[in-house]
Amino acid sequence: MPKTAVITGSTKGLGRAIAEVFAENGFDICVCARTERDLNDMQAFWAVHFPTRKLYPFRADLSKVTEVLAFGAFVQGTWSSLDVLVNNAGLYLPGTAMAKPEGTLEHLLALNLYSAYYLTQALSPLMVPFRKGYVFNMCSIASFLAYPNAALYSISKFALLGFSKSLREEMKVHGIKVTAIMPGATWSDAWTGAPFPQDRLMKASDVAKAIWGCYTLSETAVVEELLIRPQLGDL
């Protein structure tokens, strides 16, 4: 039987690169995104490049708990067990700690923290009874460093790192591994038109390969936290 992976925020950028690495290594994958068109484009790509691997798309806005739970129910209806969960869905919005941008912090917490929290809860029955599984949480270098005009984003990512640490302690006795991934600046669509060369930042595939490397360790080892930065440092 093929192994299985759930990857959120997976039609573009880091999530897409992670999905492709796992597909290359024989995994069937459940993915979600807010945009139906992006999911359709991903399905068309899979049909050509990964014809032997199954892709199960689901449209969901993971900033809404009801849709997180709907996606979790979709996965449970698709598979009876799960090998890998990558909580990658996330968003950056600027904002200072003392400013009062209405709803910004709440939206960032909903997507960057609560989606991972509720989806992990929903899918744990596919891992815990089998004493296997791996959870990757896409944190950030902003999970432990403060940046100008990024306080609200950093609050959400600090919280996600805290969740990852707590989850690691709870899940290790069940045979489930947990890794917090903390990448620095990585190329994605958000950087299109930026006034510097692409080799200034990391490639999404670099992060995806690092995640795969964590997954391939023996059962007796786990990378609890993985920090990856551009060779020349962050911007």
Asked whether the predicted pLDDT for residue 193 surpasses 80, the reply is no
The helix, strand and coil proportions of the chain, stated in percent and rounded to the nearest 5, come to: 45, 20, 35
Q: Which two tokens stand for residue 157?
A: 């990512």
Per the structure, the complete domain to which residue 175 belongs is given by 3-228
Q: Please give the pLDDT value at position 5.
A: 98
Residue 76 inside a domain? The answer is yes
Asked whether the predicted pLDDT for residue 178 surpasses 70, the reply is yes
Residue 141 inside a domain? The answer is yes
Residue 131 inside a domain? The answer is yes
Question: CATH code at 81?
Answer: 3.40.50.720
Task: For 145, list phi and psi in degrees, rounded to 5.
Answer: -125, 140
Across the chain, mean pLDDT equals: 95
Residue 168 inside a domain? The answer is yes
Long-range contacts of 68-75 (CB under 8 A, 24+ apart): 68/114, 68/115, 68/118, 68/119, 68/122, 69/118, 69/122, 71/8, 71/32, 71/119, 72/118, 72/119, 72/122, 72/123, 73/122, 74/30, 75/6, 75/30, 75/122, 75/123, 75/126
Residue 234 inside a domain? The answer is no
Rounded-to-integer distance, Cα 12 and Cα 221, Å: 30
Mean pLDDT of 97-125: 94
Domain tally, the chain: 1
Residue 93 inside a domain? The answer is yes
Mean pLDDT of 141-161: 94
| pLDDT band, very low/low/confident/very high, at 190 (cuts 50, 70, 90) | low
